Chain A
Amino acid sequence: MRRFWALALKELRQIRRDRRLTISLIVPPTLQILLFGFALDSDVRNLRLGVVDESRTAESRELVAVLTQNPTFRLAGSYATADALADDLGLGRLDVGVVVPYDFARLRARGRPATVQVLLNAANANTAQIAQGYVEGAVTFLNRDLTGARAAPVELRPALLYNPGLVNAWFIVTGVFGTLIILNGSLVSAATMIREKERGTVEQLLMTPASALEIITAKMVPLFLLLMTMVGLVIVVGRVVFGVPFRGSPALLLAACACCVLTGIGLGTFISTLARSANQTQLISFFVNPPLAMLSGGLTPIEAMPKWVQPLTLLNPIAHFASVARSVLVKGAGLDVVYPNLLALVALASVLVAFSAWRFRRQLG
């Protein structure tokens, strides 16, 4: 035990002296969570709407007014002909076009249905789908007003649970959280693990009476403490800047964070055993990290991935962590709900730490 403390103290001092390492644990994660939280917003609003009003009546103007009332659409121009509108849609100056036919008011006066043409730039499938929902919703709303009663015999009343304001940042911040832990954790631990190898100080470690296991644990424990501090920082930023709710048990979240940090350390140690120099660890992480982050469901829903990719996310610690973070923070779920993901995290953490420790030990020998 005394040997372990001596080694851990040595690591702690080494980390403290390395100001770049401390900075790299504070500045990049904070910047990243701010950037991701502010820049990634899938909300559909301010779509540019072009109108061809062949009818030019009070009725047709009412329709346009109803469409531009909500923040989804912004009137970007009125066109004389449908061709002119189509040209601008093709040039990317418009997102949505609405063509009101010349007999719009007349048909309505006679009590016959009038059809309005809606042209959508569907290049972005997601935006198109949501925009289509809005247009049809607005028209249904207008129909109800016109007939004086409900136009449809059945109506669906949606109730949005957990995040009724549809704040997108809650989804992104809880998703990026795990990505930050794993990516920064693996980068920092790969850097500290490779240092001994690069400088050739492994020899000195071998000369000490400490066993290989003690050396590894002494290396991992200070890293773990340091990374948990970073976790606290990220939680504070998410809470203060983005107003992410904290509805569940803090202990549960911290347990998941601890597992995630350990997984990151394991990954970093593993990468450091593959590489010969700090350059190589950087390069390897550069190729491991983007797919790990993108295929995690942190930024885009896992359900939207192809069927053959979805099972792969079961091996991704970020995916499990995102699930726990969202359940605990946003939904206020307890252990009875998140235990499968938590168990998976524990399993991934122990496998990775054990495997990388074994490889690291073999290197020492």
Chain B
Amino acid sequence: MRRILAQARKELTQLVRDRLALALALVLPVGLTALMGTSVSLTVTDIPIVVQDFDQTPLSRRYADAFRTSLTYRVVTLPAATSPETMLARGQVRAALIIPPRFEHGLRRGWPVEAQLLVDATDGNTAQLIRGSGGQITRTFARGIAGAPAPPIRTATRLWFNPGRDPQKFYGPGFLVLGLSIFPTVLAALAMSREGEQKTILQVYVSSISAHEFLLGKILAGMVIGFVQCVLLAALMFTLFGLRFAGDPSPLVVGSVLFVFCVVSFGSLVGAAIPNQAAAVQAVALGGFLLAFLLSGLIFPIENIPDALRWISSLVQARYYVLIVRDAFLQGGGWPAVWWAVLAIGAIGLVFYALAWRVMRRMQVKA
């Protein structure tokens, strides 16, 4: 135990002496999470749309105004001698609303009237949003017209957990997970591979410390840094992203401890296996960043990944931590909702530790 603490103290001293690394360890995760969490979103507002009104009557203008007042759209005027198709092709607008001639005439007589919406579907998700909200606006407009029959079935929709449909409340916690997947891992991998690269590992080998003690000391130091980052990032969630704990925060606390243990063990494993700092950072970029980014449900749902790839995501610790963090800040399901995710992170962490120990255990220079 004393040797573990001594090893951890040595690691922390080393980090504190390296001002640049310390700044990178504490400032960068916060900056990056803040920037990406606020910037990355799929929910587009202010979509440029052009209206071509062949009718030019009070009613057709009221219909166009319904689009103009929606927060989703920004109506662009159609320049003279330009067709909406050209504007779509040039990417100046994402959609074009075409109101046919005799729009009001038909409506007044109770004839069926159709307006057309041309949607640039290059981005499928935005196209779907445009299609959905265009339909909503049209239904509301139709209801407002005198003499319209009342629909027999109505829906009353209630949005739970994020009633303002604020995308930041969803992506903020996601990028907290990404930040915690990258930085503690990189630092741990660097600390470990440095020993191998600068051959200071020999000093460790000749000392009386055992592989377990050496690893635990390294991991303990890494976890201390990870916690500081975790607390800083959580503070960011409370301030910039305006989130509060939705329920029992204890699964988040336990989950965070295990997650930090898990990523630091992963970093140590990479560092021990690859005694070259540049190569170790590249391996972490692949394992820590790319897998956490692609296969954890951070931005896009895991359910959409093809089966052949999806099984990999069950081995990615970030996938479970994303669930825990989102549950703590948004849904508030507590232990009944996420107990299995906490267990999964712990199990993956133990596997990483065991693997790291296997690499280190002989405490001998490789022949």
Contact = CB atoms under 8 A, between A and B. Distances in A.
Interface of A: 32, 35-36, 38-46, 63, 89-92, 108, 111, 113-130, 132-137, 139-140, 142-143, 146-147, 150-164, 166-168, 170-171, 278-279, 281-283, 286-287, 290-291, 294-295, 299-301, 303-306, 309, 323, 326-327, 330-331, 333, 337
A61 to B, nearest CB: 13
Contacts of A309: 35, 38-39
Given A161-B88, A166-B127, A282-B278, A304 B294 contact: no
Nearest to A283: B281
Interface in B76-117: 88-91, 94, 107, 110, 112-117
Contacts of B364: none
A171 B122 contact: yes
Interface in B135-189: 135-139, 141-143, 145, 147-163, 165-167, 169-170, 182, 186
B287 interface: no
Contacts of A283: 281
B277 interface: yes
B40 A300 contact: yes
Interface residues of B, number: 106
A92 B294 contact: no
Contacts of A91: 331, 333, 336-337
A26 to B, nearest CB: 16
B117 A159 contact: yes
Ranked 10 nearest A-B pairs via Cβ: A133-B132, A122-B159, A166-B124, A41-B304, A160-B121, A152-B142, A163-B121, A125-B165, A42-B125, A156-B138
A36 B294 contact: yes
28 contacts: A32-B290, A42-B299, A91-B331, A91-B336, A92-B331, A92-B338, A108-B153, A113-B151, A119-B158, A123-B162, A124-B301, A126-B129, A128-B162, A129-B43, A130-B125, A133-B128, A139-B153, A152-B139, A154-B113, A156-B117, A158-B118, A166-B127, A171-B123, A287-B28, A291-B36, A301-B44, A303-B45, A304-B42
B199 interface: no
A152 to B, nearest CB: 4
Contacts of B35: 291, 295, 309
A9 B43 CA distance: 51
A133 B131 contact: yes
Contacts of A139: 151, 153-155
B331 A90 contact: yes
B251 to A, nearest CB: 12
B331 A304 contact: no
A301 to B, nearest CB: 5
A161 B121 CA distance: 6
B52 to A, nearest CB: 14
Contacts, number: 329
Given A38-B309, A125-B170, A143-B153, A166 B128 contact: yes
B58 interface: no
Contacts of A136: 132, 135-136, 139, 155, 157
A159 B38 contact: no
A290 B159 contact: no
A286 B117 contact: no
B168 to A, nearest CB: 9
Interface stretch (B253-261, B265-273, B322-330): B322-330
Given A92-B327, A294-B40, A38 B122 contact: no
A181 B121 CA distance: 25
B163 A299 contact: no
Nearest to B293: A290
Contact of B43 (A40, A125, A146, A164): A125
Nearest to B125: A42
Contacts of A299: 40, 299
B119 A158 contact: yes
A126 B301 CA distance: 11
B128 A294 contact: no
Nearest to A164: B121
Contact of B155 (A39, A118, A123): A118
B122 A331 contact: yes
Given A119-B158, A140-B139, A295-B35, A40 B300 contact: yes
A52 to B, nearest CB: 14
Contacts of B133: 129, 133
B63 interface: yes
Interface in B282-305: 282, 285, 289-290, 294-295, 299-301, 303-305
B41 A305 contact: yes
B142 A118 contact: no
Q: Which of B89, B114, B131, B157 has the most CB of A within 10 A?
A: B157
Nearest to A174: B122
B155 A115 contact: yes
Contacts of A327: 91
A121 B281 CA distance: 38
B231 interface: no
Contacts of B277: 279, 282
A218 B300 CA distance: 43
Q: Which of B153, B278, B309, B323 has the most CB of A within 10 A?
A: B153
Contacts of A156: 114-117, 134-135, 137-138
A39 B337 CA distance: 25
B112 A286 contact: no
Given A152-B148, A281-B278, A304-B40, 8 more contacts: A42-B301, A92-B338, A125-B169, A139-B155, A152-B143, A159-B116, A164-B121, A331-B89
B119 A116 contact: no
A265 to B, nearest CB: 19
Contacts of A111: 152
Contacts of B160: 89-90, 119-122
Contacts of B300: 39-42
A126 B152 contact: no
A336 to B, nearest CB: 8
B128 A118 contact: no
Interface string B344-355: 000000000000
B303 A46 contact: yes
Nearest to A90: B333
Given A133-B131, A291-B35, A114 B153 contact: yes
Contacts of B115: 154-157
A142 B42 CA distance: 30
B234 interface: no
A157 B114 contact: yes
Nearest to A145: B152
